A and B are shown apart, each in its own frame.
Chain A
């Protein structure tokens, strides 16, 4: 099992450019999440999904959009990147039916720099 994977691992954008981060999980998890990690602030939830075709806003959703067209994939989009979106982005997933609902498993992160 690969667990949770993220593509790409690093990316540099110019202000105003767009990009999509891809998260994939092979654990048949229902729930998926996108977090951002900034120095001194821990991880903050951007958006999450409780199932295929559903998404919801987290703590810091502005400037981001997400889609969950397939159960195993969760995409995070930046339509017009801003320097304030320079961060490390983590994807996570949790909950297989019949399993413990509470433990999240994280991908390796994507370091994004917006110039």
Chain B
């Protein structure tokens, strides 16, 4: 079974600075998808960024980018120019390529605080 590990329960960053959230995963599959979801206090789960394992290029969405290291099974999220609105729980998630139903396996989350 696949597992997703987020080893940082909490992180803090100053406004306008850069922060990196870590995620590692364990799988025997060669093709898969990885995701970062943001959960603000409203509880809504919001997709931040997705990465296909077969793509060597790291995904980028505005201020959010990932460092995908397939051999090391590492998938970190970098938030540049942090804003107060980035404060939230961040979940890393894995989805295998084979099989049906796009089942996701989530990590336990990292709570990000943004300070002035």
Contact = CB atoms under 8 A, between A and B. Distances in A.
A28 interface: no
Interface residues of A, number: 26
Interface string B24-39: 0000000001010100
B33 A102 contact: yes
Interface in A36-94: 40-45, 48-50, 56, 58, 88, 90, 92, 94
Contact of A101 (B44, B47, B102, B108): B102
Interface residues of B, number: 22
Helix, strand, loop or mixed for chain A's interface? strand
B102 A102 contact: yes
Interface string B43-60: 111110010000000000
Contact of A48 (B43, B91, B103, B109): B103
Contacts of B104: 33, 43, 45, 104
B45 A106 contact: yes
B44 A109 contact: yes
A109 B41 CA distance: 12
B14 to A, nearest CB: 26
A44 B107 CA distance: 10
Interface of A: 31, 33, 40-45, 48-50, 56, 58, 88, 90, 92, 94-95, 101-106, 108-109
The 8 closest A-B pairs by CB, nearest first: A106-B45, A42-B106, A102-B33, A109-B43, A43-B106, A42-B108, A94-B102, A50-B101
